[in-house]
Each structure stands twice: as C-alpha cells, then as structure tokens.
Structure 1
Amino acid sequence: MAGRLKVLTLLRTLSASSCQCPAHSSGMLVGHPHSTTSKEDKEYAFEMACSNIRYGPGVTAELGMDVESLGAKNVLVMTDKNIANLPPMTKVVDSLTSRKINFSVFDDVRVEPTNESFEAAISFARAGNYDAFVAVGGGSVMDTCKAANLYAADRDAEFLDYVNAPIGKGKPVTVKLAPLIAVPTTAGTGSETTGVAIFDHIPLSAKTGIAHRALRPLLGLVDPLHTLSMPRTVATYSGFDVLCHALESYTALPYTERQPRPPHPQLRPAYQGSNPISDVWARDALKTISKYFIRSVEDPEDVEARSHMHLASAVAGIGFGNAGVHLCHGLSYAIAGNVKTYKPELYNSSHPLIPHGLSVVITAPAVFQFTAPACPARHKEAAVLLGGKADVKDEDAGLALADVLRTYMQALGIEDGLTALGFGSSDVPRLVEGTLPQHRVTKLAPRQQTHEQLGDILHNSMTVY
C-alpha cells in the first residue's frame, strides 16, 4: 500500500507541475473543442519508446562490430549521391570491410523522397534478401531505409497499405523487420530515434508518411564528426527542424486529451501527445539550441557547437518521437509538396525542392501565435528557454515566442516568408487542402483549426519579418 501511495503521489506531482492552461490540464473549459469527450473515451496512458542511441566522435568505426554481433550475412547500406562521396560513407565502408561483412550499396535515395523514390528503394531491397540495413545520411535516407525494410519484410504488401490514413490504409505492422542501424549525418530530423518515414505523395502534391514503432532503427550511431561535412544551408535548415520538433512536441495536445483511446495497447499511435517524459527531452533540446544553434551555423569548424546540435537532434527526436509534432509540420507537408521553382543553395538538386526544415519553420511564428491562447504558459516557457523575456503576459505569449523565432530566422538568413519560396495568396486554398489530410499531426495541436484558420496562418506567413 505504501508503494502504491508513493506512485499516486508522484503522478499527482507530475500532473500539477505541468502547464495548467486549458489544453494541458485535466479540467477542460466549457467550449473547448475536446470538452464534450467522456473520460472513458480519452487516453489515460502514454508509452515511451525510442531506438538505442550511441553518441561519440568516431563511433561510426564500431558499426562493423555491431553488424557482426547481429549475425547478419547480407547487409544493405542506403545513402544518397551526395553522402556517397563524403567521409561518413567512407567510415561506414571501412568499418564493414574491416569485419569482412558482405554488403551492397543503394545510393539512389532522393533528397526529400517521393512515393516513386520510396518504391524504387523498396524494389531494390526486395530483390536482395537482406538480413540487416544500414542508413547513412539525413532524414531522407533514414526514412527511405525504414520503408525499404518494412516492404522487404512484407513482400505481398501494396505501397498504400502502410501509408497513414486517409491517404493510405494505415495498416498496423505485424511482420518482423530486419535490424536497421542508422548513421545520421545531419543535426536535424532525429529520424534515428523514431518510427516515422515521410515522403512526398506525388498524386496529391502533399507529404504523408508511414508511422509505426516497428520502423524504429535498432541503433542510432550519432557521430558528431559527420556534421562537419554539412554546408551552411543544410546546418541552418536541419537546425530549424530540431527547433520545431522541440517546440511542437512541448506544446502538443497532452496525451490525456487525445481520443479515442485505442482498444489495444499495440494500436497506441507513435505520436501520443505531450507527456511528462517527452517534456524533459524537449526542454533540454531548447536549452541546447539557445546556446549552440547560431554558433554551429556561423562556424562549420566549431566542433563543440556542431556536436551539441547533433546530440540535440537525437534528444528532440526522442521527445517528438513519442509526443508528436503538430501544425508547423502539418503545414510543411503541403508547402514542400507544392513547390514550384524554388531551389536552395548548396543542395545540388536537379529538381525544385523546399528543404524540410525550411518548409517547417517558415510558418512557425504564425503557428505559435495561433496556438498560444490554448496554452500560454508553455509558449512563454519555450520563449524563455530560447532566450526570450520572462515577464510576459499570457495574452502576449504567442507574440513573444514568435518574436524569438523571428530573431533566430533573421540571424540565420531564412527567407522572408512563403512569398520568397514562390507562393502567393492564390496558393493558400491548395495549401490548406494539402494540410487537411495530415490528421496524424494536425490533431495534436493544442488548439483545433478550421479551414479558415489554416488559411489565416498561411496568409500571415507570406512574409515573416
């Protein structure tokens, strides 16, 4: 009985220490969009899960030993054309070769992958009977490798079977996947910690994805030396992805307000809403960003700054990989999917693309001004963690966080809004339509949205400064 009382006391303490605004407390205000849901329908538990992480400069040299320990006989290494000729890939090949591991290389991963590039990687993986996978690169490579592993394990599956509803069927993963080791080369996506794979669905001109815990890498080898190869623009955009991961997971709808509760624990989604454990990771990532983000971009040889940002990427990944993200990411999928002619500097892309971190952060000031009334305390705390003022009224919480974000964006040369990316007001209806299917993330926002409100956020993001 004494032990049970201690547990109950701890849970009450955690609940009391969390934000007491309408969206993050147990007592919902009348008129809140979730206030009519019965307690029986709402979630009551959250599950913490992530990949194993090994962090340290030079840790890639241990990859061969890890693969050897798995007993793998035929390994598929995935990367992209850029990384294929850089030191991270050399280190991977050297490590596997030193342990006499048999491996093949697929280097046709598309930066900002599509359903077509996913399917090409899947076909390659299905043809090889691989018993382990290694992903070397940024989020595009890791996500492509996750998808290839899944569909290689389920050879009868059609592509849309596992894609998130309503675009796909959203089938739960019941097949056994081969072990996947991720070697991230950017400080951004945190994909080495999550069970999510994102891609552009060309028929709808919008991003969607596959999400299930079974997709998580077995191990993430976080080697900060790899980030020294990142060009300035890659460091900038991937860093803003880390920033938004932390902000969105920290301000997400609390897990106790997510509904409906799944009938079986295995059906609990990967993105569950903010929770006391994910909050710890989000706060830590924001503190690191405040100290090291700008330094890591301005001086590519600042090993300390780049190392801390690489770790922050994994830390934020653990947080959002369980809590989820919301509107910045939901809107970004439509923005990136509807790219017209924009090509970022130093990406060596043959096709127009809006890098993921850029598509995410471009609406962030407007998004957090919109969500702040649902949870002003969390928005104020996030602003302070990023270097903002502490003495801010609740009604000014959104503006305070937006101003801090604009400071970072301007300091690091982020383009001045959607207009600078080639969009105009006439594109807003199409961008809204591309956002609407992103239920997996948009429903995790602390404040629910109408079509008109999504349009307002986009209109307010046409310019940022």
Structure 2
Amino acid sequence: MEWIYQQPVKIVFGNGKVNELKGVIQELGKANGILVCSRSFKKSGLADKVFEQAEGLLTAVFSDVSANPEVTEVDACAALMREQGSGFVVALGGGSVMDLAKAAATIATTEDSITLYHGTGKELPAAHLPLIAVPTTAGTGSEVTGVAVLSDHASGKKAPISSPNFYPEYAVIDPELTYTCPQAVTASSGIDVLCQAIEGYWSVNHQPICDAAAVHAAKLVFDYLPLAYQEPFNASAREKMAEASIVSGLAFAIPKTTSSHAVSYPLTNVYGIPHGEACGLTIDYFTRVNAQGKDGQRVEDFAKAVGFADMDAMADAIIELKREIGLRTDLTDFDLSQTQIDELVQLCHHPNLDNNPVKITNDILYDLFDTLTSQATKKQP
C-alpha cells in the first residue's frame, strides 16, 4: 500500500478562541482583510463583534451568501475583494460561507469568473488570498479541506471544485459559536460529519491516518449528536461535536467522499433537501451495499471499531439516530413520479461515485429510490 498524507491547515481549537482572532491575523502577517459571513451574523451582531475585535485589520464585509453558495455570489465577493484590495480573508460561518470564501479568494487574484472552473476540469490558478476559517457549525469540515461545493442555477449544476490553494491557512474552532445553531442545522450538519467519516473510511482512496480519524469522529457523533440536538447549550456535547467535525474533515480531506455525497447533490439541487440531511438519507443503505462488495470487510471492521456488533447494527443505529434528531428517512412526501426517479438516477452519476468501493450501477440506484419512496419506509409518528 502506498499513500501520502498532507494537512497544511494550522488548527486552533478551544472555547472562546474567536476572541483571539486578532492574534491569529497578526501571526498571519497580513492587513486589510475582508470578513465573509452569512446574512444572519450581520443581523445578530456577531459579524460586527468579530470586525471590531480585529481592531482595523478587517476593512470590509461580504454577507450575500446563500445556503447553497452560487457562482454569481462567488464572483460578487471576488469583485469586492479586488475593489478593496483585500490582503486576506476571514470566513465566519458554516460550510456555505467557507466554500464561497475559498473560491472567491482565488478568483479575486484574476479577472475571471468562477464559472470557468466550475465543473469544467480547468485548473485554478495557484495565486490566492490567505484564508482564516472560523466555523460556526459542527459539520462540513470545509475548514480543513481543499474543496468548495458550488451551485450554478443557470445551468442547474451543483459540483465541487478541488484545489490545493483552497486549504485555509488557519482554522479557528470555537465550540461556543455553535450554541446558537438552530436544531435543524445541528442535526443536518451533525449527520454530515458522520457521513464524511464513514465515506472517508471506505473510500477507495483510504489510508491509515484518515482511517483513524474517521473512527474517532464517528464514535463522537453517535455519542454526542443526540445530546447536542436536545440540549443546545450543553458545553460538553457542543465541544465533542466540534471535535468530531474537525476530525471528520481530516478523515475525508484526502480520501474524498463517495456514494452518499454523490446522491446528495441532486437531492439538494433539485428538491431543496439540506446537504447534510441529503447525505444522511442514504448512508445506511450504502453501508449495506458496500458491505457486500469485495472490500466489505472494511465496512464490518469500521462498524466494530465504532462499537457495533456488525455493519447491520450500525446501519440500524444510523436510521434510529436520524429519527431521534428529526431527519427524514425516506422521500415518500415528495410523491416522486417515475420520470422524476429516472432523472435522479441520471443526476446521481457524479464523479464521487468513482471513490465508492462498490460500483454503483443504475440498478442499485433504482433500488435505492424504490426503497426511499416505498410507503413501507414511511417514518413512524
């Protein structure tokens, strides 16, 4: 077995660490920064607090970021960076904010639109503005990956872009920032952490350091996500989920995600299901599918390492976890027609499927959607 591990992001973890952001910026050695955040943080005052604590090192704010960041938003953010002559970027928010900031920080060094690189295979330029990522959700892992997932509404496309210069220079992880996450965001981002860990482990690109991170992160999710969901101000649960999120990011950053993420893109893009919830919808199904492949023992080994008797027990526990935190376990409420299912099957053929240890055929995808649309799977009250 041959493998390479690289993680260029300096991780700063701990309660209250957002209050030390000025010191991180000074360590970076840059000035005239731009703060990229969600509209909600502009309204809540968190963005103003972070801006003021930087004491002049931040000079502009961009907050026009949607839940699934769009290519036009990336271009608008990059245009503001050019206009301001920004020297660095602070991304304060969830995966959407970080993905947009990553892409804009590179495009700002050019006169290009991000559409030249989105789903085209064209290599991004190496120049970029340095980025400090400050996640406010326990999910996505975007703060330690070189990937940005973007949507293009004009073409109906949602796809990731990978580039080494998308890695932030710093990730500042402050669990206290997750206390105000709505329950639905806690649930969706939390199940995304679990999917990243599981998929990173069984990916065809798996390697031992990422394997160890995947097991650790998954254990934390099973143990602490229900508590973080039920008790949003439980300091221990929030800290452990923040730990799970960053470790899960390390688990999949190199191996990349697989089948559940591939299927999630059309479920989000076409039907508006939040990203994490869309990933979690199929992870138990693909657990059973991948356990039947030639590398199925890895799935069994993972389940046992996390603390289950076998992979079936883990798959059942995932279903129960989704129910416990209010996530969907089927698609029955969409009342999908055969034509819509046909379209979904075709849209699921995303490059991430190539990372899956079992070849995902149309027959498997039709069986998946048959399972998800069957009334027999409908959630119990």
Same fold (TM over 0.5): yes
Alignment partner, residue 120 of structure 1: 76
Alignment partner, residue 358 of structure 2: 447
CA distance in 1, matches of 2:93, 2:168: 14
CA distance in 1, matches of 2:328, 2:20: 40
Alignment partner, residue 122 of structure 2: 170
Larger radius of gyration: 1
Query: Which of these residues, 258, 265, 278, is aligned with residue 210 of structure 2?
Result: 278
CA distance in 2, matches of 1:84, 1:422: 38
The one-letter code sitting in structure 1 at the alignment partner of 2:229 is V
CA distance in 1, matches of 2:125, 2:87: 17
C-alpha displacement of 1:85 = 3.0
* Aligned positions, number: 375
Check whether the contact 1:205–1:434 (CA below 8 A) recurs between aligned residues: no
Alignment partner, residue 359 of structure 1: 278
Alignment partner, residue 230 of structure 1: 181
What are the Cα deviations for residues 217-265 of structure 1, in whole angstroms up to 9, with x where unaligned? 1000000000101111110000000010001001111xxxxxxxxxxxx
Check whether the contact 1:57–1:225 (CA below 8 A) recurs between aligned residues: yes
Check whether the contact 2:3–2:207 (CA below 8 A) recurs between aligned residues: no
Alignment partner, residue 227 of structure 2: 295
C-alpha displacement of 1:200 = 1.9
CA distance in 2, matches of 1:387, 1:70: 41
Does residue 327 of structure 2 align to residue 414 of structure 1? yes
C-alpha displacement of 1:105 = 0.5
Higher RCO (CA 8 Å, separation ≥ 6 residues): 1
CA distance in 2, matches of 1:298, 1:387: 23
CA distance in 2, matches of 1:228, 1:212: 31
1:32-181 matches, cutoff 5 A: 44-86=2-44, 88-97=46-55, 100-155=56-111, 157-163=112-118, 167-171=119-123, 173-181=124-132
Q: Which runs of 5+ in 1 are unaligned?
A: 1-14, 16-43, 254-272, 340-352
CA distance in 1, matches of 2:49, 2:219: 31
Does residue 146 of structure 2 align to residue 190 of structure 1? no
Check whether the contact 2:51–2:58 (CA below 8 A) recurs between aligned residues: no
1:274-423 matches, cutoff 5 A: 274-339=206-271, 353-374=272-293, 375-388=295-308, 390=309, 392=310, 397=311, 399-420=312-333, 423=336
Change (3 A) 1:286 1:244: same
The one-letter code sitting in structure 1 at the alignment partner of 2:269 is G
Q: % of aligned pairs identical?
A: 29
What are the Cα deviations for residues 94-138 of structure 1, in whole angstroms up to 9, with x where unaligned? 3212xx324101111111112232232233223222110000000
Q: Which runs of 5+ in 2 are unaligned?
A: none
C-alpha displacement of 1:385 = 4.8
Change (3 A) 1:88 1:223: farther
Check whether the contact 1:331–1:435 (CA below 8 A) recurs between aligned residues: yes
1:449-464 matches, cutoff 5 A: 449-462=360-373, 464=377
Aligned-residue Cα RMSD (Å) equals 2.0
CA distance in 2, matches of 1:78, 1:312: 24
Does residue 164 of structure 2 align to residue 213 of structure 1? yes
Q: If the length of structure 1 is used for normalisation, what is the TM-score? A: 0.76
C-alpha displacement of 1:430 = 1.3
Check whether the contact 1:386–1:404 (CA below 8 A) recurs between aligned residues: no
